[in-house]
Structures are given as structure tokens and as C-alpha cells.
Structure 1
Amino acid sequence: MLIEFSVGNYRSFKEQVTFSMVAANLVAKDKKLDENNVFEIDDDLKLLKSAAIYGANASGKSNMAKALGFMRWFMINSSKETQSTEKIGVEPFKLDTETEAKPSFFEIVFLMNNKRYRYGFEATRDKVVSEWLFYVPKSRETKLFERKEDNIRVSKTYKADGIQQKTRHNALFLSVSAQFNVQIAERILDWFTNTVKVVSGLDDRRYRGYTVSCLIDNENKDEILHLLKKLDLGFSNVKVKESKFTLDSLPNQLPDEIKNFILKNVEKEAISVSVQTIHLKIDRKGNSVSTELFDLDDQESEGTQKVFALAGPLVDTLKDGKVLIIDEFDARIHPLISRAIVEVFNSKETNPSNAQLIFMTHDTNLLSNKLFRRDQIWFTEKNRYGATDLYSLAEYKVRNDASFESDYIKGRYGAIPYIGNLNHLLDSHV
């Protein structure tokens, strides 16, 4: 389970922001929100099942998802997919002379096997400046390792002596430890690989392959089809067709280099996959008489294609209690579908494994005290320095029965664009 995530330029009050899934000590308007939207870890810790992040364009919403996505990738791959001369893919804050030379800061707090872990690192484009891993075996936080550039101190529990010298300046010690079979590191990276997913709602086609593979392998197939039917996308079923093709069967007008690229690493033949939706055909009396197949790519809307692409990750997340972060959640899908997906996560019945959904959105229809507690609503806003401020609605003195959507549009919580006078936009004399 995700507890907190922090990112920014370390020790800079202007730059570091923290997002938390810890439930605040408040009472929602409807007690059902507390019963459904919150789950208890122990007497001292309750977590949220979902959270929405709002803000104007260019306010930093997407950067939160990108930062977590980069952190996840760097943890998993820095020891095996980077060379000693490669730059680290961090982006320093360039609008402040004080912070532009400082390292970027990443820290995440999470639950794995019922234990709380806190892991983080600081890095510039050239090197990892510091890195740390702590956990709570019983009641007190205990250090597993701590790094200051090339100086890495390891506890006996971590069992990684001798690996320090094998760690490059631009690689994470955690990642190197996993490469050398340190069990704690392996479990953490396995948790991040399989439990935390970061999805772009504008680039969702890349996730369609996962949904298709689930349908082919019958993994969560029934649940995926059930979800697609319940979201009223206009079709009754889905058909996935696999076709084998060889180099000779490709169109003659296709350049040889493209043919070779398509069949790269395939000796004789490859497999293409097409997805078709099944629609009912009716007669004059309204009776269904047969079915018609529509090609998902050519004959279905972009919104339908997006929901199909997300169906696999959504079901997988719900079924196994994982964490799903979706940027541009509302792009190309109807507000009622967005709301239905959120309601699935905010439910004991449909989310018994306490999966977590975090999304960035502009859809103010979801800003409702009937859907969210105040601590589930977050805002991003650029401050006077051009940096992102991140804050929760729980920080405001707001009545639980207030109209969150109306007050947000009126600017009472900030995080909206302040649009100038456009009356003379086309007046050439102004």
C-alpha cells in the first residue's frame, strides 16, 4: 500500500512537496464515506482508497505522476540498463538560482508484507548524492542502509556487505543489491514492479496489449468483460483474434527494412492480434436477429478504446490490492464512466483488497462530498517562484456539506487558471 510520496529539490521549502494517502482525522458528511473510502492498517494508521489531484494546466499535476514513474523506473533499472557514463534522467528546477544546482529529491513510504518502509534518494544528472532505506520491524523505525555518495553504511539485517564497491555513482544501491540477490532489495523491487502502476491517460494505447493478453490467457477475462459491459460502451462482448503471418505474406509495397523490423527476432512467422467488439443487430420490431463485428481501432470511439485499454490494469489493480496512478484520467471518457470507476474503488464490495487509485483530472463533476472525503481531494498550484504547491482540501476549514465543485470553480481553493480579459483578443489596435 502507498502511504506517502515526496518529490522536489531537497531542503528547499519552495520545491519539495508531499502527497499522502493517510486518512486525516476528520468526519465526512456521510458516514458511508468513512466506512467505504478508508481502510484500517492498525490503531494508528488508516489509508485512503482513492485520491484526486486537481489544478490548472501547467500547475504540476502530471509532474507528480512523471516523478513517481521515474523513481519506479530508476529503482528497478538503474543497475542493469544504464552505463557509467550515462546521465541520470532527473530535471532540476530551473526557475530559481538557489535550487537549479541542487539535487532532485525522491522519497516514498509504503507497506509491504505488513511492514512500513521508507526509501528515498537524491540525485543530480551526474550522480546519486544520497540514498536511504528504513523500515519499522515492530514499533520503531530502523535503518537498513544509508548512503552519502560513495560512502554506504549497511545494517546486518540488510545483508549486503561487499556490494558497496560494486555500486556505480549513477546507480542506486537498492537496485545493485537486488542484482546480487539481497532478499530485502529483491522483495522491494518486486513490489514496485508488480504493485505500483503509473498510466498516462493520453497514451493509453500502450496498455491495451496488457488487456488483450489477459483476454487471450483467460487471466481476469470474466472480470474485464464484466467491467466493459457494465460501463455501457454499446457492445455485448469482445472477440480477440490471433493471426499468423510470414515475411512473404506482408504487402509487397512495404519496404524491406520495415518488414525486417516487424519480424525482428522472429525466425519464420509472427502473430498479429486484432480486437473486435460484438454488437447486436435488430430488426424493425426491435428484436435482435444477429450480431455484427466492429474493429476496435477503426469503428469504435477513442473513448471506448481508452476504456478498453484501461480495463485490464483496473481489474488487475482491484483484484490484487495494487496501486494505480492515472494521469489525465478524464481525457476522452464520459464523466459518468470516470465516476463509476472511482465508485468501484470506493467500495467494500467491489474493492475488498483495498486497492488504491490516484488520478490527475480536470473533471469537476467528481468534486462531490457524496463521492470523496476532503482528505481525498488535492490541488496543485504554481507559487510566486513558479514552483508547484501541493495541498489537500482537508487543510481548509470547509463544511462537509459544502459544494466542493462550486467553491472550486469560484476559486476558493485556488488551483484554477486566472484568465485575463479576452474581449479584445482579435483587436489589432490593442
Structure 2
Amino acid sequence: MLVEFRVKNFRSLRDEQVLSLVASSDKTLQDTNTLGTGLKVAPALLSSAIVYGANASGKSNLIKALQYMRGVVLESATVVQPGQTFAVQPFRLDPCTAGQPTEFEVTFILNGMRYQYGFAMTAQQIVSEHLLVYKAFKPQRWFDRHFDENTDRDIYDFGQGLKGTKNLWESATRPNALFLSMAVQLNSEALRPVFDWFAHSLVIFDEQTRLAPHTSIQMLKQSEHRKRICDFLAAADLSIADIEVVTRKVPGQSVHFDLVTGKSEVRSEEMEQHQLRFSHVTERGEAVFDLMDESNGTRNLLFLAGPVLDILKKGLTLVIDELDTSLHTLLVRELVRLFHRPQANTGGAQLIFTTHDTSLLDAPGLFRRDQVWLVEKDSDQASSLVALSEFSPRKNEALERGYLMGRYGGVPFLGDMAEPKH
């Protein structure tokens, strides 16, 4: 479960911004909208968080920052080559930050243990990296790495909690690779859970990683999962009684790379092609439709159904930029409520998403005040992230009206678009 995400000097996020999933002491919707951790320092985490902001306010940059951090963890030791630079983008409208490192840190709970991992980087290299592990209330510093400009090399400080061939991992870690990632590549069992959390427990959908039908299609091939997906869609009042997957072999091509000769070869081989057939049933009749006959909203909901059902079962963290795209507001509400229902969210999953749908703010029993976050830019074009609870709104306050009036920030300041500028 995600506890907290910190980012500094990434795109419009100039100053350090903190997205916290730690539940406040408010008892409102505690049984549905919070998840127990068993830890004294953070006894409950929020099962969802919603982020509002005007266009170009920086709310998507928050998602991009988490996505970028995940990418560096997964690829710096394998995909990134020696001497290759990163495409990281610091805040460029301030000369003081344009040349400074970009910083990321996440805190998460896995198997009852709290991990706090972060790093700072420039386009050329990793300048610092650290990992704290809380087996008890007091943290253990497993490793700390920082670049020493005087000696032009990385300095490492290892704690007793980290077991394994640390000197080997250190010597193998390039300036443009994370120690965490390289150690896992060299079979560090102790660090594997941290790496795997990024790889498997954090699921992000945005403009870089779009929804794809693969997961839903694979689940539709199994009768038990097919029923769950059809029930999921039926709850959205889509009149879909069943979905058939018709698979056939079609000619295709694949590229094979020879690691010995370094040459690539294009081979012809059969590939699988899947066709979805939707059975609609109403009181007046029934019909079968292809995927392209369905609306964008139905397709998006289908593509979401597989991943969401899997995430709820496994207790993963799902992050989505613009969840309301092509989805009716009532569908968004029902999707959010799945994460709030203990009988559906059996694994302790979390949902974080950005949206422009202000009607969600006043949906009865949908969100607590500490689940709502607002992003806005200042006169320097730097984005700031603030929790709605910081404004101490009253229990019965009309949040949508207050938000649109600019009481909490996070809305655009509109001039007269028809008025010519001189």
C-alpha cells in the first residue's frame, strides 16, 4: 500500500510536493474509505485519493513524476546504457532549479513492513539514493549513496540490515544506474521486494501507458473471470449478458535478435488475433455486436474491468490520469466505490486519479475531506499540491460550489476570451 509520494524539481513541480495517503483522525467513512495497516505510526491509509486542478495546472505532472520514478527503477540497470543520459525535465523557469537534481521518494507498506526509498538525479547521473526499512518503529538505514564532487565518485554507506554481496553490487552500479536496480539484477533477495513493488504493485495508466485490452481478454477466456467482468459491466447498466472471445491464427512477423552475432532476423510466424463478440439482451430482444460497435465508454470500461478486478484481488495501487475520460460520472462513482467496499476490495487496493468531474465532490458518501487534493500554479508557473482538509471545510459544506468559486484553489482564472488583446 502506498503511504506517501514526494517529488521535487520535476517539470512544473518546482518545490517539494507531497501526496499522502495517511488517513486523518476523522472517523467519517472510516470503515469503507480507509485501510488498516496494523502500524502505530500510520494505523489507517486511504483507499483512494482524487486530484483536481485546472488545465495545465500540473496535476498530470504528478502522475508523470510517479511514472518516471517507476521507469528509472525498472530500466536504469538494464535498458539505460553506459554514458547514456536521462530525459528528466527539471523546472526550467527558475535559473536556480534548472541545473539542480530532480528528487523522488516513495513510502509504502509491503507484507506489514514499511519501506522508504528515494533518489535524486540529473540528466547525466544518479546523485543520491537511499533506503530506510521499518521493521520496528525505529528505521534501519539499509544503504545510503551520494556523489562526492571532490573525489568524483559515489560514496556508499551500508547498514547491517542489508544482507548480501554489497561490494559486488556497488562496483557493478554505473553512475547512471540505481544501486537498487543493479543489486536486484545481481540477485539481491533482500532488495527484490522493493523492486517488485514498483514492477508489480504499482499500476499506472496515463498518456504514456494507455489502457489496453490484453488483461481483460485473457480473463474473458476463463469462465469464472468472464462472469465477473460481465457482472461488472452489467452493474453499469450496459445490457451486456455475455462476451465471447474468438481467437484465430493469422500470419505475422517477429524480429529475433542473435546475441552472439549481433544481427537481427525477421521471421514469419503465426500470431493470435482476438475478436470480441458482445451479447446484448433486453426485454424486446437480443443481438451480438463487435467491439467497434460499442461506445468509447463501454470499451474503456471493459479495458478497465480486467485490471481493476485483478488489482482489487491482489491489493495493488492503481494510478490513473483523467479517469473520467469517456466514462459517465455515475460509472466513475461506481468504480471508486469498488475500492471503498471491503467485500469487493478484498486485497486492500488503492485508487489515485485525476479528474475534472466536480460532481464527485458532493456525491453522497463517496469521499472524505482528506481524500481530495487540489493542484494549482502560482505566478512563477510552479505547481503546488494541497489537501482539501487544509481548508477545514464544514461537514455539510457544498464542496463542488466552493471549489468552482475558487474557495480552495485549483481552478483556472478566466478572462474574457472574446476580448481582443492589445
Change in Cα spacing, 1:14 to 1:273, as seen in structure 2 (3 Å) is closer
The 5 A counterparts of 1:27-426 are 27-28=27-28, 33-42=29-38, 43-45=40-42, 46-149=44-147, 150-158=154-162, 159=164, 160-200=166-206, 206-217=211-222, 220-246=225-251, 267-280=268-281, 286-288=283-285, 291-296=286-291, 298-368=292-362, 370-424=365-419
SS of residue in 2 equivalent to 1:422: coil
Q: 1:186 deviation in Å?
A: 1.3
Aligned 8 A contact 1:154 1:161 in 2:
no
Match for 1:401: what amino acid?
A: N
Aligned 8 A contact 1:5 1:18 in 2:
yes
Q: 1:9 deviation in Å?
A: 2.6
What does the per-residue CA deviation read over 1:20-43, in whole Å, with 9 as the maximum and x for residues that have no partner?
000012243xxxx12210122134
Aligned 8 A contact 2:6 2:105 in 1:
yes
Cα distance in 1, alignment partners of residues 386 and 61 from structure 2 = 15
Cα distance in 1, alignment partners of residues 223 and 202 from structure 2 = 22
Cα distance in 2, alignment partners of residues 78 and 424 from structure 1 = 50
Cα distance in 2, alignment partners of residues 141 and 260 from structure 1 = 49
Cα distance in 2, alignment partners of residues 294 and 13 from structure 1 = 45
Match for 1:197: what amino acid?
A: V
Aligned 8 A contact 2:251 2:268 in 1:
no
SS of residue in 2 equivalent to 1:66: helix
Cα distance in 2, alignment partners of residues 266 and 310 from structure 1 = 33
Q: 1:198 deviation in Å?
A: 0.4
SS of residue in 2 equivalent to 1:98: helix
Aligned 8 A contact 2:53 2:356 in 1:
yes
TM-score (norm 1): 0.88
Q: 1:65 deviation in Å?
A: 0.9
Match for 1:130: what amino acid?
A: S
Aligned 8 A contact 2:254 2:267 in 1:
no
Cα distance in 2, alignment partners of residues 203 and 180 from structure 1 = 29
What is aligned with 2:261? none
Change in Cα spacing, 1:84 to 1:205, as seen in structure 2 (3 Å) is closer
Aligned 8 A contact 1:204 1:306 in 2:
no
Q: 1:222 deviation in Å?
A: 3.0
Cα distance in 1, alignment partners of residues 65 and 87 from structure 2 = 10
Change in Cα spacing, 1:233 to 1:44, as seen in structure 2 (3 Å) is same
SS of residue in 2 equivalent to 1:6: strand
Q: 1:245 deviation in Å?
A: 1.6
SS of residue in 2 equivalent to 1:359: strand
Name structure 1 gaps, 5 residues minimum: 248-258
Cα distance in 1, alignment partners of residues 210 and 295 from structure 2 = 13
Aligned 8 A contact 1:324 1:356 in 2:
yes
Cα distance in 2, alignment partners of residues 205 and 305 from structure 1 = 13
Q: 1:98 deviation in Å?
A: 0.6
TM-score (norm 2): 0.90
Q: 1:133 deviation in Å?
A: 0.3
Establish whether residue 6 from structure 1 lines up as the match of residue 11 from structure 2: no
Name structure 2 gaps, 5 residues minimum: 148-153, 256-264
Change in Cα spacing, 1:147 to 1:44, as seen in structure 2 (3 Å) is closer
SS of residue in 2 equivalent to 1:182: coil
Count of aligned residue pairs for this structure pair: 402
CA RMSD after TM alignment: 2.3
Aligned 8 A contact 1:229 1:237 in 2:
no
Change in Cα spacing, 1:155 to 1:203, as seen in structure 2 (3 Å) is closer
SS of residue in 2 equivalent to 1:194: helix
Q: 1:13 deviation in Å?
A: 9.9
SS of residue in 1 equivalent to 2:98: coil
Q: 1:113 deviation in Å?
A: 1.4
Match for 1:279: what amino acid?
A: H
Cα distance in 1, alignment partners of residues 328 and 184 from structure 2 = 43
% identical equivalent positions:
35
